[in-house]
Structure 1
Amino acid sequence: MAIERKFLGLLLFLLGAAATLAAYRFGCSTPVTGLALTVPATAAVLVVRGPRPRTKGTLLVAAELEPDALGRLLARQEPDTLALYRTEQVTAELLELQDRYGLVLVVGREHDPRTKERLSASGLSRQVPDIAERAVILAGPKHFRKYVRGALTRLSVPGSHVRTARNR
């Protein structure tokens, strides 16, 4: 797939370059030249960036969000999304989200060893055996995201599979 993408990108680049030279040679108007320049630019993006990596599903790992924000975040996800949420106490809103979306609650204080273990590399690999094949979305405070990102690195989850959610 990568070789085909690079070949297609190179082909588009050469076609765009030829079109640009032809437009210049025959004195075509500016819009045609602008269009001819768009083709090589598109080809360069195709070669350098390429398509997003394919994943087996999504894992959402979150903490310290308002229940409404968490609900909106869960509502935007695909049905095969697995969601883990660290909280200090279980509320009626969280139980409703658990019933509606299958939210897995990790209950305990931030520095409780049992809570931290469930979000560590070994805990995540037990809860989500195919974690390296999933896209991962992190939401919550910076120190929480940094801790989970470190666990994901130890589990060889590619950085291109990990992103931070916008909690709006």
Structure 2
Amino acid sequence: MLFWCGVAVAEFGAVQPGYGLAWQPAAYAGAALLVALGLIVVRSAGRLRSRRAGRRLRLAAYLAGTLLVAYHLSAASPSPMTVTALLVYAVASVMAVWSHGGGAARTRATLLIATDLEPGTLRTLLAGRDQSTVAVYRTELITDELRELQERYGLVLVVGQEHDPRAKERLSASGLSRQVPDIADREVVLAGPRHFTRYVRGALARLAVPGTQVTTASVRLRQRA
């Protein structure tokens, strides 16, 4: 957002000293549209299921903003200020490309948060993860199979009904950060009903976990009687 606010100011001169249509209503309107565009890009990239698609969308936005400012400043009369601005945005574009390229190759540990899954589905999810995976599962009743999964995979059981305050607290921002201190550095996989994943996504957002690190698994849910 700071980047796109800078683009808006440089392009339309909505805040003096600036370029173009300083202090005119059209300048503020244009700047507001650019800032809104930046916000839409950030929100959209965070909601994409594919992390690679989210990175590409953000990268395209960075480069588009850089080219927009570079084009505007290149048309202005040469001055030390113009050259400095062009260098700043050139560095910003290089940093964007570098960070996104480096982020694609980095691997992260996984955190699985789930509820209401068929026992076989839960077992399959756990069996496909490595030893660094942390799995948190909310259940109303501890069964023998859940105990076996707890012993075999270190499954963290949150016992309580859907609206149990104690269970909800353990899946809240404070509860998750206490149980998984490095949660912001993990890939988070959610599995369960929509209202459950929505609640957990809200907790993850309060913990500043990037949306590109959060995915929802398409799994078979347990049939309620």
Q: Which residue is 1:136 aligned to?
A: 188
- Give the C-alpha shift of residue 54 in structure 1: 3.2
Query: 1:41-80, aligned counterparts within 5 Å?
Result: 52=104, 54-80=106-132
Match of 1:52, SS state, is helix
Residues 20-52 of structure 1, C-alpha deviations (whole Å, 9 max, x = no match):
xxxxxxxxxxxxxxxxxxxxxxxxxx99x8563
Relative to the length of structure 1, the TM-score reads: 0.68
Indicate yes or no: 2:139 matched with 1:87.
yes
Relative to the length of structure 2, the TM-score reads: 0.51
- Give the total of aligned pairs: 124
CA distance in 2, matches of 1:158, 1:67: 30
Q: Which residue is 1:24 aligned to?
A: none
- Structure 2 residue corresponding to 1:104, chosen from 156, 160, 165: 156
CA distance in 2, matches of 1:77, 1:67: 16
- Structure 1 residue corresponding to 2:202, chosen from 145, 150, 161: 150
Q: Which residue is 2:177 aligned to?
A: 125
Indicate how the Cα distance of structure 1 residues 133 and 90 shifts in structure 2: closer, same or farther if over 3 A, else same: same
Contact 1:61 1:138 in 2 (8 A): yes
Residues 32-81 of structure 1, C-alpha deviations (whole Å, 9 max, x = no match):
xxxxxxxxxxxxxx99x856373541100000001111000111112110
Contact 1:67 1:93 in 2 (8 A): yes
Match of 2:200, SS state, is helix
CA distance in 1, matches of 2:115, 2:159: 10
Q: Which amino acid in structure 1 is aligned with residue 211 of structure 2?
A: G
Match of 2:163, SS state, is coil
Runs of 4+ in 1 over 3 A off after TM superposition: 49-56
CA distance in 2, matches of 1:52, 1:134: 14
- Structure 1 residue corresponding to 2:168, chosen from 90, 95, 116: 116
Contact 1:73 1:167 in 2 (8 A): no
Q: Specify which structure has the higher proportion of helix.
A: 2
The percent identity for this pair of structures is: 65
CA distance in 2, matches of 1:64, 1:96: 17
CA distance in 1, matches of 2:144, 2:110: 25
